[in-house]
């Protein structure tokens, strides 16, 4: 059974899933030894590794480099990588980049920041056999200024938009939905009405798992990522919580 199928089995068995970012072999080995379910090579590396203000300048080449570092430290965790900004503007470009990660065993699935505008690209990748995590809600790659760092889905209109988006993602069979900074009760309804793991950051406890940036857990992020100031996840789900305790 491949790692992604094992992960889905854990989810179906009722396990709350933990997902933490890593960008290098040592941290990846440490997180894996601790039983973290998903290691994410996030484009947050733009902020926490490169010291930039946003994720916008991270390149596919850089994600490939960090994914290969993380891969060498990891045995059991499911490996997820971000497709960085502007690396999936067309179906062909998205497939070429995503399939590079999958066919070179640099990832078990790729994460794509998804909205109604690019869902056709996500659907294309799924049809071509690429396992996908659709990232919805606050999309760091699209944020233009500080006001973009907020909770989404608070108004009726926005809530309807995100609910419909999640139902479409459910219908096209994405493997995981990752929700960032979405209204907690909306996140919970999306989780209840879809049949894949719904994990989140800053979206409350009523979902299938929690995501965290490792440097945020360590309290040493170079550039505090604003999303976390809207983050009201207390306490974190068990496994991340235990991990945090161990770090103290
Ligand atoms: O890049 C990243 O680390 C992420 C998380 C904040 C979800 O996308």
The 10s digit of each residue's pLDDT in 203-222 is 999 999 999 999 988 888 77
Q: Return the bridge partners of 135, or none.
A: 113, 178
pLDDT at position 223, please? 65
State which residues form the domain around 211: 3-246
pLDDT at position 140, please? 96
Q: Which of 40, 49, 56, 233 to mutate to test the pocket of ligand 1 (most atoms within 8 A of CB)?
A: 40
pLDDT at position 236, please? 52
62 catalytic per annotation: no
Using DSSP, state whether 134 is helix, strand or coil: strand
Residue having the nearest C-alpha atom to atom 2 of ligand 1: 42
The CATH number of residue 25's host domain is 3.20.20.60
Q: Return the bridge partners of 177, or none.
A: 134, 198
What tokens appear for 68 in the block? 């290969």
Positions of the chain with pLDDT under 50: 227-235
pTM of the model: 0.93
pLDDT at position 237, please? 59
For 123-157, what is each residue's pLDDT tens digit?
999 999 999 999 999 999 999 998 999 999 999 99
pLDDT at position 135, please? 98
Pocket residues: Cβ below 6 A from ligand 1: 21, 40, 42-44, 82, 178, 180, 201, 211, 213
pLDDT at position 218, please? 86
- Please count the structural domains in the chain: 1
Q: Which atom of ligand 1 is nearest to the CA of 21?
A: 3
Q: C-alpha distances in angstroms, 189 versus 80, 153, 160, 174, 244? A: 25, 12, 11, 17, 28
Contact 73, 32 (CB under 8 A): yes
């Amino acid at each position: 059974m491949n790692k992604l199928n094992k992960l889905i089995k854990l989810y179906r068995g009722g396990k709350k899933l933990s997902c933490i970012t890593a960008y290098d072999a040592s941290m990846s080995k440490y997180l894996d030894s601790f039983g973290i379910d998903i290691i994410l090579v996030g484009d947050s590396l733009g902020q926490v590794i490169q010291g930039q203000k946003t994720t916008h300048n991270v390149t596919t080449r850089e994600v490939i480099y960090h994914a290969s570092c993380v891969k060498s430290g990891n045995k059991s965790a499911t490996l997820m990588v971000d497709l960085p900004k502007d690396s999936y503007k067309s179906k062909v470009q998205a497939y070429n980049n995503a399939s590079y990660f999958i066919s070179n065993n640099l990832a078990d699935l790729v994460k794509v920041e998804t909205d109604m505008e690019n869902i056709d690209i996500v659907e294309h990748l799924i049809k071509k056999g690429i396992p996908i995590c659709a990232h919805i809600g606050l999309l760091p790659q699209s944020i233009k200024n500080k006001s973009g760092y907020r909770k989404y889905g608070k108004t009726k209109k926005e809530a309807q938009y995100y609910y419909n988006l999640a139902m479409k993602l459910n219908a096209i069979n994405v493997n995981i939905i990752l929700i960032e900074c979405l209204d907690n009760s909306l996140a919970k309804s999306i989780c209840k009405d879809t049949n894949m793991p719904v994990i989140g950051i800053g979206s409350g406890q009523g979902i299938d798992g929690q995501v965290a940036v490792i440097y945020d857990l360590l309290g040493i992020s170079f550039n505090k990522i604003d999303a976390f100031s809207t983050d009201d996840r207390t306490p974190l789900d068990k496994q991340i919580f235990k991990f945090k305790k161990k770090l103290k």
